[in-house]
Amino acid sequence: MTSGIVFFLWLHRKLLQLINPAQKILGEQNYILLVSVLVGFLSGTASILMRQVESYSEKAALLIVPDDSQWMPWLVPATPAIGIFFCIFVTQVIARGHYERGLCGVIMGVERREGNIPLHKIFSHIITSGVSVGFGVSAGLEAPIALTGAAIGSNLGRALLLGRQSRILLLACGSAAAISAMFNSPVAGAFFALEIILPHSTNAIAAMIPLILASATSLVVSQQVIGPHNFPMELMQWDIKAMPYYVILGIAAGLVSAFVIHTNIFISRRMKKIGNPWLKGLAGFFCLYGAFLLFPAVRGQGYHFLSMLLSNDTLHFSAGSPIADLFQSPWSFLLLVFAMVFLKAAASVTSLESGADGGIFAPSMCIGAFLGFAVARFIHLAELPGCNNISEINFLAIGMGGVLAGVMHAPLTGIFLIAELTGGYVLLIPLMIVAALSTFFCHKFCPYNVYKTLIAEKGDNPDSKQDADALCVSYVGEIIETDYRTVLESDSLRNLLKTVMSTHHNLFPVLDENDNLSGLITLNDIRKFLLETSLYDVALVFDIMRPPQAILNSTDTLGHAIEVFEQQKVTTIPVIRNGKYAGCISKNRAFDLYRYHIEHRKELF
């Protein structure tokens, strides 16, 4: 073990000796671009490995339940238990409870400007999420692979001794590259990183260059090994006469997105009441078994059932379910698909809260697809005006983007992911409308996206960067208190005591003959002279005063003022304007203004 660590350190040192000259030759920006390409290559490789683990796990599940077994319909819904309890074993026995899933940790790492992700996350989620999804839990691989890519970028940045900002950028490059490789969508991957990982970036345009490079590199790696994997959708040209129905779909997608987020909160709170993770897994499995048995379409990632809808294969949509005969008529099948919108959300959250590793990304797309298909099928069955201009496949694709945009609060990701996933931009205009409306209406009911909602549930602040921005919009000059009584250096102790008796403050700024601040006097400084009446006309303010611990300028920001208050451990600080004394500010006044800005922060939507 020791020799292995020594070898690793030696290898690391040699690597730095090779890389440092390259950094000096290329310059910092070009060097970051080169490293972003390396991050893209590694993230694409990680994506391939994760899908291989998922594929092998899926084959193992089929071996456990042979096709010719008479018990197959009853055993298939039970295989997700293997994925759930495998993940619980890894998290509780191997990791001893220190195993965070999802993108919440990545987002908070960026919000806190840390950009550090544990090294084990480069490979751990490849295994746990691949096994979970492969054995059929209702979750997706996208969030785990984005976390894996972020870990690759973060740890590569640390290994190369890069600064904090560069590590955060490479972290985002890793996430973008991973999404690109998973969906064959480099532009959507870059927008995903900007909207989810770097939502408050002030250098978004500059960040796009390394993000696109990483995404493109990852896509090339993935296609060389696995090949293109777009959805085979025969999209139709959209008709302007169908625009009212697209608006309805956008509003519905926003409401469904809010339902998904609130379902996440509801189930998460109730699962937390079960303290033992093994009992939590068992309780979750029993709920999931009933759902998977009666409604097979909620099992797994859901892409297989979307293919059935695309090919209009309604007969096999509920195959294996004991109640499949109930959904043979057109209207009953419509009711089933509509029910899938809500059942898929509940099953996905239950799978993750039970202990499985995965994400809500793919389930959100499936929920949107079910919603879009259900809306289009209802329009056709009800023979509403303009029904001949409605394509079920178009609505299915647009619904995917709409709900994804709403749940993630990421309209650009939803738009370009579906555009690239379907292999064209035929539906770009209705996609833009539905994604925008969905995000708008979801935001009305849920101020945060699904990841930041979970962060807020844990008691953390998911928008610390926005809070930091609030500290920069106000200045010390706005909250100066001018009612502090000043004294001159040449004043006697008697005059000072008269001033003390005429005010309720316990701090007295001392000015020189030119009105410049030269010191401060507090009641504690005066107390030792109170009984020395012989000094009342002898001692001067100059003899008693002390230099101020801190001085603020009227042009300093509120954030700087609060930082000084915390560092100096004082409650009042004098303020100067153009070099002259202007007044004082109190710690309470500064924090009151900060809280006001947070509570009354205006948003465009």
Domain boundaries, the chain: 11-225, 240-460, 471-599
**% of the chain residues with pLDDT over 70:** 88
- The whole-number pLDDT of residue 511 equals 92
- The whole-number pLDDT of residue 475 equals 81
- The whole-number pLDDT of residue 191 equals 92
Q: Taking residues 387-411, report their average pLDDT.
A: 91
Angle at 100 between CA 98 and CA 102, to 5 degrees: 170
CATH class for the region spanning 11-225: mainly alpha
Annotate 345-409 with DSSP letters as a single string. HHHHHHHHHHT---BSHHHHHHHHHHHHHHHHHHHHHTT-TTGGG--HHHHHHHHHHHHHHHHHT
Sheet containing strand 572-577, edge to edge, reads 552-553, 572-577, 580-586
| Helical (H) or strand (E) element with 511 | strand 507-511
Per the prediction, the chain carries an average pLDDT of 84
Residue with more model confidence, 549 or 13: 549
Q: Taking residues 15-26, report their average pLDDT.
A: 59
Architecture of domain 240-460: Orthogonal Bundle (1.10)
Q: For 237-266, how does the pLDDT look when each residue is reduced to its tens digit (9 = 90+)? A: 888 888 999 999 999 999 999 999 999 999
Q: For 569-582, how does the pLDDT look when each residue is reduced to its tens digit (9 = 90+)? A: 888 999 998 888 99
Q: For 330-379, how does the pLDDT look when each residue is reduced to its tens digit (9 = 90+)? A: 899 999 999 999 999 999 999 999 989 888 888 999 999 999 999 999 99
- Answer yes or no: is pLDDT of 533 > 50: yes
Q: Considering only 43-52, 400-409, 515-524, which range has the smallest mean pLDDT?
A: 515-524
- The whole-number pLDDT of residue 117 equals 84
User: Which pair of structure tokens corresponds to residue 335?
Assistant: 């009711």
Q: Considering only 150-154, 447-451, 524-528, which range has the smallest mean pLDDT?
A: 524-528
Q: For 167-224, how does the pLDDT look when each residue is reduced to its tens digit (9 = 90+)? A: 888 999 999 999 999 888 899 999 999 888 887 665 667 788 899 999 999 999 988 8
Q: Taking residues 411-427, report their average pLDDT.
A: 86
**Cα(289)–Cα(435) distance, rounded to whole angstroms?**
33
CATH superfamily of 471-599: CBS-domain (3.10.580.10)
How many CA atoms are closer than 13 Å to the CA of 319, on its beta-carbon side?
A: 9
Residue with more model confidence, 43 or 386: 43
- Answer yes or no: is pLDDT of 602 > 70: no
> Cβ(239)–Cβ(388) under 8 Å?
no
The whole-model pTM stands at: 0.77
User: What residue spans of 311-329 are helical by DSSP H?
Assistant: none
**Cα(14)–Cα(147) distance, rounded to whole angstroms?**
29
Residue with more model confidence, 486 or 18: 486
- Answer yes or no: is pLDDT of 9 > 80: no
Instruction: Annotate 158-183 with b (16+ C-beta within 10 A) or e (fewer).
Output: eebebeeebbbbbbbbbbbbbbbbbb
Examine domains 240-460 and 471-599 and report if their fold is the same: no
Annotate 259-310 with DSSP letters as a single string. HHHHHHHHHHHHHHT---HHHHHHHHHHHHHHHHHH-GGGSSSSHHHHHHHH
Residue with more model confidence, 436 or 12: 436
- Answer yes or no: is pLDDT of 467 > 70: no
- The whole-number pLDDT of residue 461 equals 65
> Cβ(558)–Cβ(505) under 8 Å?
no
Q: Of the ranges 111-120, 266-275, 311-320, which is most confident?
A: 266-275
- The whole-number pLDDT of residue 605 equals 43
- Lookup result for tokens 């003959």: 513
**How does residue 40 score in pLDDT terms, banded at 50, 70 and 90?**
very high
Task: Name 492's bridge partners.
Answer: 540
